[in-house]
Amino acid sequence: MPRNQYSAGVLQNPHSIRMAAAMLLLERGETYTSIRAKTGLSPNTIAALKRKEAHYDQDLVDRLRKLEESKLTHALHLHLDSSMAPEKIEKISSLQNTIAAGILIEKRELLSGRATVRIGAEIPDLVLRERIEALERDLSVEVLAAEIVQSSQDSGDDDKSE
């Protein structure tokens, strides 16, 4: 018989697994009530975890995180495979399919600690325009120099033929 309404749905997991799961849920930003319902831990224990005062097994947290990553990867593959079925292609727009796949990929990347946004070098238009103009000037000087050299060689050839 469960001791309270929150431990009714909790499997008989060891305390360390419930603590590690609570840490993952805290990192995701879930509420105390949600964490309490999923783990059966008291609000005081959850608050202590948030303040990093309670002891939890970091290795277990890392293993659970990898398990969540693999679940998301599996869900992504399952979604992409099932979305290619002819009956699904007619019903689901490619936009919905792409958004769903993108959300799964982003969640997996966030959970694994990788970047979800690629930031390129942002060069203001004015700086870029000035650089292009400088390169064009350099190029025109080189072209002019090449023409001068070519014309002097051509005139030298004309002198020799006379």
Same domain, residue pair 101 and 136? no
- Cα angle at 83 between 77 and 87, to 5 degrees? 150
Same domain, residue pair 10 and 52? yes
CA dihedral angle for residue 22, residue 26, residue 32, residue 37, rounded to 10 degrees? -40
Residue 26 in this model has a pLDDT that exceeds 60: yes
Of 16, 32, 56, which residue sits at a domain end? Answer: 56
Spatial distance between the Cα atoms of 80 and 155, rounded to a whole number of angstroms: 70
Same domain, residue pair 7 and 36? yes
The H or E element containing residue 100 is: helix 94-112
Other C-beta atoms lying within 10 Å of the C-beta of residue 104? 19
**What pLDDT score was predicted for residue 55?**
64
pLDDT in tens, 47-94: 888 887 666 667 777 777 777 778 877 887 787 777 777 777 777 777
Residue 23's pLDDT band (cuts 50, 70, 90): confident
* Token pair of 65 as six digits: 């995180």
* Token pair of 89 as six digits: 């292609």
Of 97, 115, 133, which residue sits at a domain end? Answer: 115
Q: Are 40 and 18 in contact (CB under 8 A)?
A: yes
Residue 128 in this model has a pLDDT that exceeds 50: yes
Residue 158 in this model has a pLDDT that exceeds 70: no
Same domain, residue pair 47 and 89? no
Same domain, residue pair 109 and 128? no
Average pLDDT, the chain: 76
**What pLDDT score was predicted for residue 143?**
80
Of 76, 91, 115, which residue sits at a domain end? Answer: 115
**Own/partner pairs, 112-120, CB within 8 angstroms, 24+ separation:** 112/65, 112/69
Domain that holds residue 85: 64-115
As for how many domains the chain has, the answer is 3
